[in-house]
């Protein structure tokens, strides 16, 4: 039973991040013509949407699960959870670090525009987060 709540919460996080990424992608279709200020606003709004969506989805999914099963599950951590979190953090850090270095190289040597670089940095953070969450799902199963 302990794993179910962790998997539900992880799926809510993945869904919330995915919703925000799709929203940002849709609002950045004309990024080459946008100012850095307008791109920054869209990215900041996307991060806010992600946070709100994750919180709302976690609450709704857990309430729905409690109503269906008729019981309330507590989110109890054991020693495995810390280890899984560490593995996920390492994966996320590696992906994000490689992405940052790649983007900086593209900015410096291959004339990537700052607008696209800013978008790429933000989206690489989301991708790194989703990859770490998928690793946690794999480890819990």
Q: Contact 72/66 with Cβ under 8 angstroms?
A: yes
CA distance 9 to 22: 20
**Residue-range definition of the domain harbouring residue 30:** 2-140
Q: Residues of 93-123 as b/e, b for ≥16 C-beta within 10 angstroms? A: eebbeebbeebeeebeeeebeebbebbbbbb
One digit per residue, the tens of pLDDT, for the chain of length 141 reads 344 778 888 899 999 999 999 999 999 888 778 888 999 999 999 999 999 999 999 999 888 888 887 777 776 777 888 888 899 999 999 999 999 999 999 988 888 888 888 999 999 999 999 999 999 999 888
pTM to 2 decimal places: 0.82
Find all residues with CB under 8 Å of 130, minimum gap 6, and list them: 14, 17, 18
Total of domains in the chain:
1
DSSP 8-state class, residue 112: -
**Computed over its alpha carbons, how large is the radius of gyration of the chain?**
18
């Amino acid at each position: 039973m302990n794993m179910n709540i962790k998997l539900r919460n992880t799926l809510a996080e993945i869904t919330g991040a995915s919703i925000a990424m799709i929203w940002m992608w849709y609002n950045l279709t004309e990024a080459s013509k946008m100012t850095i200020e307008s791109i920054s606003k869209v990215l900041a709004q996307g991060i806010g949407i992600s946070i709100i969506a994750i919180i709302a989805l976690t609450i709704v999914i857990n309430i729905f699960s409690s109503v269906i099963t008729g019981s309330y599950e507590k989110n109890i951590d054991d020693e495995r959870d810390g280890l899984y979190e560490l593995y996920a953090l390492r994966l996320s850090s590696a992906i994000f670090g490689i992405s940052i270095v790649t983007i900086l190289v593209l900015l410096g040597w291959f004339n990537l525009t700052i607008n696209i670089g800013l978008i790429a940095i933000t989206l690489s953070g989301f991708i790194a987060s989703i990859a770490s969450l998928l690793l946690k799902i794999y480890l819990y199963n």
